[in-house]
Amino acid sequence: MNVLPVNYPAVHYFGQNPKQPVTFTTNRLQISVTYYFCTAKKSFMSALQQEINKRKTFAIISHPDAGKTTLTEKLLLFGGAIQVAGAVKNNKIKKTAASDFMEIEKQRGISVATSVMTFEYKGKLVNILDTPGHKDFAEDTYRTLSAVDSVILVIDAASGVESQTEKLMEVCRMRDTPVLIFVNKLDREGHDPFILMDELEEKLSIKVKPMTWPIGMGQRFKGVYNLPEKGVNLFEADKQRISKDIIAIKDLSSSRLNEIIGDAAADQLREDIELVEGVYDDFDKHEYESARVAPVFFGSALNNFGVQELLDAFVNIAPEPQPRTTDHGEVKPDDEKFSGFIFKIHANIDPRHRDRIAFLRVCSGRFERNTFYRHVRQGKKIKFSNPYSFMARSKEVVDDAYAGDVIGLYDTGNFKIGDTLTEGEDFSYKGVPVFSPEIFREVINKDPLKTKQLDKGVRQLTEEGVAQMFTQQPGNIKIVGTVGELQFEVIKHRLENEYGASCEFRPKPFYKAVWLTTDNEAKLKEFMRIKGRNVGYDKDDRPVFLAESKFLLETAVRDYPEIEFHTNTEFKTDAQTV
């Protein structure tokens, strides 16, 4: 019980500990200051809610070569974050920002790591996570989806829905993540828009609602019709800058439309829109937020067609930061205390400084610079003097961050993917599992003088999630597991260029890696003794069975019912077992 003097500054007291009980010498003073305390706290929570409502955090996903990275750059362009955008390989254009920043990404013209970019647009703070499109890096994309509140899915108008697109959509459905669809490359010949709509619904198992509609295709592509605004926007193509000449025609029956796009195109557009409005229901924002319907936009990211409509609609309908599940229940964004989780780690994001950055998704409350927070897994407190916000490789120090924000924390080896930071509470966020690899290779050191560099490089790269590492004894044999061949190329390239180490990868005949848990330690020891040459440990020293075939895995499961065999690392949830 505290008794404060009459002249004690109430706002100072509230700032120190608003939950501590207070008693005063007179009832009148007690009532007055208690009301002040409540008002100050209410004001604080109101400011917190305002900051949360400003945030829009989403990922851009697609099949390789659908134009995902180009669309990312054009969103930054329209959002005013950059002035000139160009293709990844175009060295003639001096870009102020690009989402592909690793040297191998520039050489191959593909994304192999998630990039984080932030900009402001129409009063909203937009956080874009540009993900790898290549299937070999799908796990990085899956983890990224745990850190966003919505998704923009990019479809190539000529290719339609492809296999990787379907897999990515499955992950979105698992999380009930709202999806907007952008049908790209309308400046090239592609499928009929109505056929594309049917394919989207059939293969992605979701209802669609066209929000814009293309005027022609390929060389006949002249712009898009905006259904909600009932207007035609015609663009002059400009691959580098926002087109200045945008003509709006609000009335489809206007003869002005015929004058600008020609009689044939005008008649076709009127016929298409009549059919669209008759076939598809009106847009329902609640259905979109519940991941039951996907708004569809058409355009050409390369030529700036349709990007403005997409961005405007996104900031209007995309959800604000959403609640997240922990092992102690649900945490809401407007909960007063800070919490967040690490969903990505990237070493050497700036090759000149050999830094290591852990990407944190803020889930609740307010993160403050130079404040101690609890590292739940390690059970210790850590503070961060230089947290960063990002524009691809460029970064700047931030003093605070709110639910929905993605910030970078300098990491000296404290973090692993999935780690939780809190303001003191002891809980962990769920939904960031590691999955079994599909390809396994032993690391062979080509230069014994660089053993330390190789060990450090392999450890750091696998902690990033580029691949997984399993260690077998005796001999300290290192096995790297991936979901695709291209990952080995990336690892080898980065080991040579970032760590000065060289290695070869020797194939290993493993079918799948499964994690072992049990309450019967004797049976686990027996299993590991008998299956010794097929047992290893992951980077967290958890036992893993490296099965050589599906038959041998099923046999082990049958012979050892006391042991659970997990295909991912989220053991405390409904993790899939073999």
* 511 and 541 in a common domain: yes
| Domain termination site, one of 291, 317, 343 | 317
> For every one of its 578 residues, what pLDDT tens digit does the chain have, with 9 covering 90 and above?
444 443 434 333 334 444 444 444 444 444 444 444 455 555 556 788 899 999 999 999 888 888 888 898 888 888 876 665 543 334 333 333 344 444 544 444 434 345 678 888 999 999 988 776 545 556 677 778 889 999 999 999 999 998 878 878 887 887 889 999 999 999 889 999 999 999 999 999 999 999 999 988 888 888 888 888 888 877 665 555 555 445 667 778 888 888 888 899 889 999 999 999 999 999 999 999 999 999 999 998 888 888 888 999 999 999 999 999 999 999 999 999 999 999 888 765 555 555 678 899 999 999 999 999 999 999 999 999 989 886 644 678 889 999 999 998 988 878 888 899 999 899 999 877 677 888 999 999 999 999 999 999 898 888 777 788 999 988 889 999 987 787 888 889 889 988 899 999 999 999 999 999 999 999 999 999 999 999 999 988 999 999 999 999 999 999 999 999 998 776 644 445 66
- 321 and 89 in contact (C-beta within 8 Å)? no
Quick check: is 539 in a domain?
yes
Kindly list the distances between the CA atom of residue 187 and the CA atoms of 53, 214, 306, in Å, as whole numbers in the listed order: 36, 10, 11
Give the Cα separation of 176 and 288 in Å (integer).
10
* 253 and 136 in a common domain: yes
Quick check: is 385 in a domain?
yes
* 344 and 307 in a common domain: no
Dump the DSSP string for 68-84.
HHHHHHHHHHHTTS-S-
- 179 and 206 in contact (C-beta within 8 Å)? yes
Residue positions counted in the chain = 578
Give the Cα separation of 528 and 293 in Å (integer).
49
* 469 and 404 in a common domain: no
Give the Cα separation of 78 and 91 in Å (integer).
21
Q: Where are the beta strands (DSSP E) in 123-206?
A: 124-130, 150-156, 179-184
Give the Cα separation of 495 and 282 in Å (integer).
53
Give the Cα separation of 245 and 235 in Å (integer).
6
* 385 and 414 in a common domain: yes
Kindly list the distances between the CA atom of residue 548 and the CA atoms of 79, 514, 536, 552, 557, in Å, as whole numbers in the listed order: 51, 11, 13, 7, 14
* 355 and 261 in a common domain: no
* 526 and 401 in a common domain: no
Quick check: is 429 in a domain?
no
pTM: 0.75
Instruction: Give me the residue label for tokens 């809980």.
Output: 427
* 559 and 481 in a common domain: yes
Kindly list the distances between the CA atom of residue 479 and the CA atoms of 322, 485, 537, in Å, as whole numbers in the listed order: 38, 14, 10
Quick check: is 430 in a domain?
no
Residue 378 lies in domain: 324-422
Dihedral angle of Cα 85, 87, 91, 96, to the nearest 10 degrees = 30
User: Which CATH number is 512's domain given?
Assistant: 3.30.70.3280
pLDDT at site 391: 61
- 390 and 117 in contact (C-beta within 8 Å)? yes
* 307 and 349 in a common domain: no
Quick check: is 333 in a domain?
yes
User: Which CATH number is 404's domain given?
Assistant: 2.40.30.10
Give the Cα separation of 427 and 325 in Å (integer).
10
Quick check: is 432 in a domain?
no
User: Which CATH number is 268's domain given?
Assistant: 3.40.50.300
| Domain termination site, one of 285, 317, 349 | 317
* 144 and 252 in a common domain: yes
Kindly list the distances between the CA atom of residue 491 and the CA atoms of 427, 501, 505, 546, in Å, as whole numbers in the listed order: 33, 11, 10, 21
Quick check: is 24 in a domain?
yes
Q: Nearest 5 degrees, angle CA 326-CA 332-CA 334?
A: 145
Quick check: is 228 in a domain?
yes
Say how many domains are in the chain. 4
* 246 and 129 in a common domain: yes
* 446 and 506 in a common domain: yes
| Domain termination site, one of 284, 302, 317 | 317
Nearest Cα neighbor of 365 from 388, 395, 334 is 334
